Structure 1
Amino acid sequence: MARRSPALFAWLLCGTLDICYAAVWSVFAGSDPGKMLRGVAKGPFGDGAGEWGLGGALAGLATHYAIMAAMIVVWFAAVRRMPALREPWWLNGTIYGFGLYLVMNAIVLPLRFGAPFPPPDLVKGAVALFPHIFFIGLPLAWLTRKDPV
């Protein structure tokens, strides 16, 4: 029987929760998921990726899961080196999610797109913070709270 991969499961779970949230939010904001994904693709592929149609959306989806892989790898490496991160899982997951939010919104997005930090619209800031904590940090911490990774 093949051994289960907790990291692979975490990557698929967190990546899917996060991108579904972004897709739903883009619809509520009056846009569409394809445009949102093409916006993600602009990060590594340049502004022209916004004009790539389906290819740009797929590139954005691949970019999203690549970023998510980095987030998962860092958490799993940290838990291996510091088992104390397992408890209290809810606190450490929240802190990790907040840290991910800071890296993405205070460093990556301002460097690539010139996005201001903190965001002038606090609602948009909360919309960006929520998935980092509830769809990445907390699930990761919960999944690794007991079993060795």
Structure 2
Amino acid sequence: MTSVAAGPDPAPLPGRSIAAAALAGGLVDLVYASAVGALDGRGVLKVWQGVASGWMGRAAGDHGWASAALGIATHFGIATAMAGTYAVAAARLPILRRRPLACGAVYGLGLYGVMYGLVLPLRWPGAFPKWEGARSAADMAAHVGVGLAIAWAVSRTAPKPNH
């Protein structure tokens, strides 16, 4: 009987890293979106009902904090996808863990591009993409902040490959 030599163990799954990064990035964007909603006069409730309207349509505005909670849960689901993408990439590309500031900023710009160039135009055709000066610059900066938070959390919690 012959034995097959195994290669190095694969990197452990980055579950803890994804959770930490989703919480960090999600909180940055939750605070930003809530503050923008409050400053615009819509209020925090309407911001998160607006996210829930992706599931519920206009009826989201009729369900108070229940639909806002659905919006917040959806928001953190999206943040988990963003964090998972970065964490899985960081498991294969160590530079993403070693250089969280540079890589997180670039990732945040990419998140902004996907959100404002793909996701929002699919949800609200004709309304996006658009550039609104300072408001759009602030939205971009917020996404860079999300990318930085995700990269920082991953750099602190990512499992190290077993090579």
Give TM-score, length-normalised by structure 2: 0.79
State which of 132, 152, 161 in structure 2 corresponds to 1:142. 152
User: Residue in 2 aligned with 1:108?
Assistant: 119
Unaligned 5+ segments in structure 1 are none
Question: Segments of 4+ in structure 1 off by > 6 A?
Answer: none
Compute the displacement of 1:120 (Å). Answer: 3.6
Q: CA-atom RMSD, angstroms?
A: 1.9
Q: How many residues align?
A: 144
Whole-angstrom CA distance in 1 between matches of 2:26 and 2:157: 21
Q: How does 1:1-149 map to 2 (within 5 A)?
A: 5-114=16-125, 115-117=127-129, 119-134=130-145, 136-145=146-155, 148-149=158-159
- CA offsets 1:45-93 (integer angstroms, 9 cap, x no match): 3232232222211111111011111011101011012112234321111
Q: Indicate the structure whose relative CO is greater, using CA pairs within 8 Å and at least 6 residues apart.
A: 2
Looking at CA atoms only, which structure, 1 or 2, has the larger radius of gyration? 2
Question: Counterpart of 1:29 in structure 2: which amino acid?
Answer: D
Whole-angstrom CA distance in 2 between matches of 1:97 and 1:43: 23
Unaligned 5+ segments in structure 2 are 1-14
Distance verdict in 2 for CA 1:57–1:146, change over 3 Å: closer
Identity value in percent: 34
